[in-house]
């Protein structure tokens, strides 16, 4: 690379909204710092971008270049229904297609064109591809740093995990607060999906070959854990990775990834609601609730007599997921108070003055967005990292509540109503709101000039420059 040329970074992501969005937001940060970014993902993303992203045609003119490879399956294959085949085919056929794509890009641009490859944690084999092509690699960890430390302990010293069959058994892990077995990520438990266990094991071993591990978090959120990890398994927070407008910055790069079409009418609906009066409910892009869960939430919303905005994502075209229906008469009975939409721009909704709290599955991206928005949380975790994230909210962040569940994993109508009341008008409601606003300011400062996350990004770029010489 000659003087004056931009350094080029490869970024690799799966076709999941919750994975590609933080990758894209980090890409924007890199572009602002003078890097060129090539983002590699699967062809299904291109298909969705053509349907839902208005500025697809101008993306490659704004210092970010999209490249696509086949995951080995047809576009109409139901990846949600047959996850095992999807993961297996992506690892075997998809990895070969990705490697061939990178080989072609290197042939066109030159052997030392790419300074680094940043990898999605669901693609641990991509780290081996980086090694094959002599490209230094980094992992972008899109869960809390606490989850990375749990994964380290789980794969490095399983004896620390005593009785994982008893959900109430206490687990004491170095560098972490006391947890119960039910608070651990599901891949550590007997009922966790085997494919997830396999991916996490592969990731843990592959991550040893990366030069950097980045976190979408920020230092103030998890300072004790980050400090503990610094000596042996360092992780560098470079977040929160949210849209720049949430941080009070100008969106200088107008690229956004919408995997589904957002219903912007909900913003106009919120405009007509009073300040801090609306419950926002969304369970992300992957979670599908049971009919009983939907029935209980609907009844609790109706009985609470609070205004609400509820996102219920429909099944994808060709999917066989059974999306539950709202109880008969619910929409008519709540038409003065509520609005139900298929999808929305969550960041814009959370930043709206009318939103009082966020009922969420506790996915980490959603929690980061609600932290930056300064909005209290009602946690309704399901699986994966969500129970651990929820524990952090309740015990450490103290910016919300987490529901209690029956043995069937369903929160009762009464429990949902209790949680709503506690966050919106309970004795601790003001303290939760105060804490939420404090965390909002900490998050914003992290990415300002001189902030902890901004410094880590600058240090990474300096590291890349030193590798060039």
- For 166-186, write each residue's pLDDT tens digit: 888 999 888 888 889 989 998
- Rounded Cα distance, 42 and 120, in Å: 13
Distance CA 451, CA 446 (A): 4
Going by the DSSP 8-state scheme, the letter that residue 103 receives in this structure is H
| pLDDT single digits (tens) 361-387 | 999 999 999 999 999 999 999 888 999
pTM, full prediction:
0.91
Buried b (16+ CB within 10 A) or exposed e, 203-216: bbebbeebebbbbb
Average per-residue pLDDT in the chain?
89
* The predicted structure's pLDDT at residue 255: 56
CB atoms within 10 A of CB 430: 10
Indicate the helix (H) or strand (E) that contains 200.
helix 194-207
**Residue 3 scores a pLDDT above 90:** no
The reply to whether 265-443 shares the fold of 8-239+447-468 is yes
Q: What are the pLDDT digits (tens) for 275-286?
A: 999 999 999 877
Residue matched to tokens 């500025």: 55
Long-range CB contact pairs, 182-189, < 8 A, 24+:
182/387, 183/387, 183/388, 183/390, 183/391, 184/150, 184/387, 184/388, 185/147, 185/150, 185/151, 185/384, 185/385, 185/387, 185/388, 186/383, 186/384, 186/387, 187/384, 188/150, 188/154, 188/161, 188/164, 189/164
Beta-bridge partner residues of 37 = 9, 64
* Higher pLDDT among residues 258 and 65, named by residue: 65
How would you classify the pairing of strands 170-171 and 179-180? antiparallel
What is the tens place of the pLDDT at every residue in 95-146? 999 999 999 999 998 777 899 999 999 999 999 999 999 999 999 999 999 9
State what percent of residues in the chain have pLDDT above 70.
91
CATH topology of domain 265-443: Rossmann fold (3.40.50)
Query: What is the per-residue pLDDT for 253?
Result: 60
CA distance 464 to 451: 20
**Cα distance between residue 64 and residue 24, in whole Å:** 9
Q: Which pLDDT score, from 0 to 100, does residue 329 have?
A: 95
CATH label, 8-239+447-468, candidates 3.10.310.10, 3.30.70.260, 3.30.420.40, 3.40.50.2000: 3.40.50.2000
Burial class (CB in 10 A: 0-12, 13-18, 19+), 116: buried
Percent of the chain with pLDDT over 90: 64
| pLDDT, position 384 | 85
- Is the pLDDT at 437 greater than 60? The verdict is yes
Asked if 164 and 190 touch (Cβ cutoff 8 Å), the reply is yes
Q: What is the pLDDT of residue 77?
A: 86
Residue 261 has pLDDT above 60, yes or no: yes
Torsion over CA: 272, 276, 281, 283 (sign) = positive
Q: Residues 438-468: pLDDT tens digits?
A: 999 999 999 999 999 999 999 999 999 988 7
Residue 1 pLDDT greater than 70, yes or no = no
Residue 195: per-residue pLDDT? 82
Q: Are 218 and 364 in contact (CB under 8 A)?
A: no
Other Cβ atoms closer than 10 A to 197: 16
Please report how the helices 429-446 and 364-373 are oriented relative to each other, as an axis angle in degrees rounded to 10: 100
Whether the CB-CB separation of 76 and 82 falls below 8 Å is answered with no
| pLDDT tens-digit map of 180-203 | 998 999 888 887 778 888 888 899
- Provide the residue ranges of all domains of the chain, joining segments of one domain with +: 8-239+447-468, 265-443
- Per-residue pLDDT of 265-310, as tens digits, reads 899 999 999 999 999 999 987 778 899 999 999 999 999 999 999 9
For the segment 387-402, the average pLDDT, to the nearest whole number, is: 90
């Amino acid at each position: 690379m000659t003087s004056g040329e931009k350094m080029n970074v490869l970024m690799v992501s799966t076709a999941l909204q919750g994975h590609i969005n933080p990758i894209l937001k980090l890409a924007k940060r890199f572009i602002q710092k003078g890097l060129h970014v090539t983002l590699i993902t699967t062809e299904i993303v291109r298909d969705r971008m053509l349907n839902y992203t208005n500025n697809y045609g101008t993306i490659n003119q704004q210092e970010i270049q999209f490249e696509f490879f086949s995951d080995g399956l047809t576009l109409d294959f139901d990846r949600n229904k047959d996850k095992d085949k999807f993961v297996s085919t992506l690892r075997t056929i998809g990895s070969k297609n990705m490697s061939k794509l990178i080989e072609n890009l290197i042939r066109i641009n030159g052997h030392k064109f790419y300074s680094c490859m940043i990898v999605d944690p669901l693609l641990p084999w991509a780290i081996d591809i980086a090694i094959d092509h002599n490209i230094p690699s980094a992992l972008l960890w899109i869960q809390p740093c606490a989850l990375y430390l749990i994964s380290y302990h789980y794969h490095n010293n399983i004896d620390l995990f005593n009785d994982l069959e008893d959900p109430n058994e206490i687990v004491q892990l170095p560098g972490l607060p006391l947890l119960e077995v039910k608070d651990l990520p599901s891949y550590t438990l007997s009922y966790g999906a085997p494919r997830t266990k396999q991916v996490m094991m592969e990731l843990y071993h592959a991550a040893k070959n990366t030069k950097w591990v980045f976190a979408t978090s920020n230092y103030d959120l998890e300072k004790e854990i980050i400090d503990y990890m610094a000596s042996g398994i360092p992780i560098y927070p470079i977040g929160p990775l949210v849209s720049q407008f949430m941080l009070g910055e100008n969106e200088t790069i107008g690229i956004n990834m919408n995997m589904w079409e957002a219903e912007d009418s909900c913003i106009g609906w919120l405009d007509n609601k009073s300040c801090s009066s609306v419950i926002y409910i969304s369970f992300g892009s992957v979670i599908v609730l049971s009919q009983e869960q939907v029935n209980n939430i609907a009844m609790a919303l109706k009985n609470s007599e609070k205004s609400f905005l509820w996102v219920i994502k429909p099944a994808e075209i060709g999917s066989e997921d059974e999306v539950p229906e709202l109880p008969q008469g619910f929409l008519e009975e709540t038409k003065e108070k509520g609005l139900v939409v298929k999808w929305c721009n969550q960041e814009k909704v959370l930043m709206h003055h009318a939103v009082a709290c966020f009922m969420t599955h506790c996915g980490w991206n959603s929690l980061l967005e609600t932290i930056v928005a300064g909005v209290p949380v009602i946690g309704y975790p399901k699986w994966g990292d969500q129970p651990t994230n929820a524990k952090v909210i309740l015990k450490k962040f103290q910016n919300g509540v987490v529901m209690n569940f029956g043995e069937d994993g369903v929160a009762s109508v009464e429990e949902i109503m209790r949680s709503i009341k506690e966050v919106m008008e309970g004795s601790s409601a003001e303290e939760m709101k105060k804490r939420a606003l404090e965390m909002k300011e900490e998050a914003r400062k992290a990415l300002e000039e001189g902030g902890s996350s901004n410094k880590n990004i600058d240090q990474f770029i300096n590291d890349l420059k030193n590798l060039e010489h």
